[in-house]
């Protein structure tokens, strides 16, 4: 019988992490709590925290399949796996057999034959990670490291982990997500995570051309004016603006975008005095955010990168820490 949620095994434990959508609040909290257990700090400064190396995944082999470039995400996944004592294999997609005509599923079957345990997948096509998860052997897990415009679950998890470390409970918070909401897989995953955690006031701020239709149905409030949208905000999450949005006539110019939607100290003045500023990176300085803000005391952008290691360690350990299941008990994918 087909499971309702491909991400879960028959006991309701994570088998894959493909999207935040469909996860229950407690499952998200369990990931955050596990990530917290990997972090030790000598001075309360998250940026100086050390992530312990543990033998939880010794003997496991994790394959990074990045069909789309991302130095930051790839590096943190690799560090996370190594700090769990796993063996890590990175496939150079540009020189792999898929470029020479071998199909993706053929390549996966060959990797399965090498006794791999997990595929971390980044792909420009939405749904790619789901497709792979539907075809892998029962003992293999898949983590979505970003697929098209669909989802980026570990980025959302490290973002909310960072928020929780600074702000505590989510319910009282006002969070504003600013930028290209329509095309952002990060924004989609953030919205699902924050609403599941019971955020009090979740706002999206963008020009009309970058707001998806009926987005209010996801539980957000839409603003087109930065001053209104940032008023009394506890957290501001800036999104990266893709250059092709300019070429596609969705926006007039980078200069005009920055004037209206770029985050500056002046615009941030209407938020709460202890507001925290976030950005998933890479940053386009002078387009989405002013350097004074990005490098300022309210910015936690570098902390997000550091926290990403612990969060990805948590996901990997929880997914691969499940008891092994044979094909009969697992059911058809």
Q: Does residue 247 lie within any of the structural domains?
A: yes
- pLDDT at residue 304 is higher than 70: yes
Do 185 and 227 lie in a common domain? yes
The SS3 of residue 204 is strand
pLDDT at 333: 33
CA angle at residue 327 from 323 to 329, to 5 degrees? Answer: 65
The beta strand positions in the chain, using DSSP E, are 39-40, 50-51, 61-66, 87-90, 118-123, 141-147, 174-178, 201-205, 221-223, 235-238, 276-278
pLDDT at 12: 85
Structure tokens at 221: 């409030």
- Please give the model's pTM, rounded to 2 decimal places: 0.90
pLDDT at 327: 38
Q: Which DSSP helix (H) or strand (E) runs through 17?
A: none
At 233, which CATH number?
Answer: 3.40.50.1370
Spatial CB neighbours of 280, under 8 Å, sequence gap ≥ 6? 152, 155, 159, 186, 237, 239, 240, 304
Do 290 and 168 lie in a common domain? yes
Do 188 and 322 lie in a common domain? no
Burial (CB count within 10 angstroms: exposed 0-12, middle 13-18, buried 19+), residue 16 = buried
Do 100 and 162 lie in a common domain? no
Task: Determine the Cα–Cα distance for residues 144 and 18; give it in Å rounded to an integer.
Answer: 5
Task: Determine the Cα–Cα distance for residues 216 and 330; give it in Å rounded to an integer.
Answer: 37
Query: Which residue range(s) make up the domain with 200?
Result: 153-301
pLDDT at 328: 39
pLDDT at 4: 59
Q: What is the per-residue pLDDT across 109-157, written as a single tens digit (0 to 9) for each?
A: 888 888 899 999 999 889 999 999 999 998 899 999 999 889 999 999 9
Do 163 and 112 lie in a common domain? no
Do 221 and 320 lie in a common domain? no
Q: Does residue 17 lie within any of the structural domains?
A: no
Do 204 and 131 lie in a common domain? no
Across all residues in the chain, what is the average pLDDT?
87
Percent of the chain predicted with pLDDT > 70:
86
pLDDT at 108: 84
Range among 41-50, 120-129, 264-273 rated most confident: 264-273
pLDDT at 246: 55
Residue pair 201/171 in contact by the 8 Å Cβ criterion? no
- pLDDT at residue 329 is higher than 50: no
Residue pair 158/308 in contact by the 8 Å Cβ criterion? yes
CA angle at residue 225 from 219 to 230, to 5 degrees? Answer: 65
Q: Does residue 281 lie within any of the structural domains?
A: yes
Q: Does residue 3 lie within any of the structural domains?
A: no
* C-alpha of 7 from chain center: 16
Q: Which of 277, 270, 280, 308 is nearest to 293 (CA)?
A: 277
Q: Does residue 162 lie within any of the structural domains?
A: yes
Do 143 and 165 lie in a common domain? no
Of residues 2 and 246, more confidence is placed in 246
- pLDDT at residue 3 is higher than 70: no
- pLDDT at residue 330 is higher than 60: no
pLDDT at 295: 97
Q: State the helix-helix crossing angle for 301-320 and 153-167, rounded to 10 degrees.
A: 120
Do 158 and 253 lie in a common domain? yes
Q: What is the per-residue pLDDT across 66-121, written as a single tens digit (0 to 9) for each?
A: 988 888 899 999 999 999 999 999 887 765 545 455 677 788 888 888 889 999 99
Model confidence at 11, in pLDDT bands (50, 70, 90)?
confident
pLDDT at 49: 53
The beta strand positions in 67-169, using DSSP E, are 87-90, 118-123, 141-147
Give the CA count within 13 Å in the CB-facing half-sphere of 69. 2
Burial (CB count within 10 angstroms: exposed 0-12, middle 13-18, buried 19+), residue 181 = buried
Do 179 and 200 lie in a common domain? yes
Structure tokens at 274: 């202890």
Q: Does residue 2 lie within any of the structural domains?
A: no
Give φ, ψ of 171 to 5 degrees: -55, -40
Residues 192-198 have a mean pLDDT of: 97
Do 186 and 199 lie in a common domain? yes
Strand partners, 8: 14
Do 29 and 84 lie in a common domain? yes
Task: Determine the Cα–Cα distance for residues 137 and 41; give it in Å rounded to an integer.
Answer: 39
Model confidence at 290, in pLDDT bands (50, 70, 90)?
very high
CA angle at residue 147 from 142 to 153, to 5 degrees? Answer: 65
pLDDT at 2: 47
The structural domain count of the chain equals 2
Q: Which of 89, 93, 88 is nearest to 67 (CA)?
A: 93
Task: Determine the Cα–Cα distance for residues 130 and 7; give it in Å rounded to an integer.
Answer: 9
Q: Does residue 180 lie within any of the structural domains?
A: yes
Q: Does residue 7 lie within any of the structural domains?
A: no
């Amino acid at each position: 019988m087909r499971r309702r949620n491909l991400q879960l095994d028959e006991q309701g434990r994570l088998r894959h992490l493909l999207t935040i959508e469909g996860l229950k609040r407690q499952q998200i909290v369990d990931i955050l709590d596990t990530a917290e257990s990997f972090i030790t700090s000598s001075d309360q400064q998250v940026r100086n925290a050390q992530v312990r190396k543990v033998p939880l995944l010794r003997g496991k082999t994790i394959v990074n399949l990045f069909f789309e470039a991302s130095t930051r995400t790839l590096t943190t996944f690799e560090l996370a796996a190594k700090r769990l004592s796993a063996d890590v294999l990175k496939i150079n997609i540009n020189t792999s057999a898929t470029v020479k005509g071998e199909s993706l599923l053929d390549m996966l079957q060959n990797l399965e034959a090498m006794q791999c345990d997990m595929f971390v997948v980044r792909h420009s096509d939405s749904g790619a990670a789901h497709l792979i998860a539907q075809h892998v052997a029962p003992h293999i897990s898949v983590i979505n490291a970003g697929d098209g415009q669909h989802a980026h679950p570990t980025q959302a998890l490290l973002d909310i982990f960072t928020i929780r470390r600074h702000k505590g409970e989510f319910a009282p918070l006002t969070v504003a997500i600013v930028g290209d909401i329509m095309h952002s897989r990060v924004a989609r995953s953030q919205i699902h995570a924050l609403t599941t955690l019971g955020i009090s006031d979740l706002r999206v701020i963008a020009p009309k051309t970058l707001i998806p239709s009926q987005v209010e149905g996801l539980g957000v409030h839409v603003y087109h004016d930065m001053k209104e949208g940032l008023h009394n905000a506890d957290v501001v999450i800036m999104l990266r603006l893709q250059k092709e949005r300019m070429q596609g006539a969705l926006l007039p110019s980078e200069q005009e975008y920055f004037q209206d939607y770029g985050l500056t100290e002046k615009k941030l003045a209407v938020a709460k005095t202890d507001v925290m500023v976030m950005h998933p990176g890479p940053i386009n300085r002078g387009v989405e955010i002013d350097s004074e803000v990005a490098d300022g005391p309210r910015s936690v952008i570098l902390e997000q990168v550091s926290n990403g290691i612990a969060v990805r360690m948590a996901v990997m350990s929880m997914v691969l820490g499940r008891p092994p299941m044979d094909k009969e008990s697992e059911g058809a994918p």
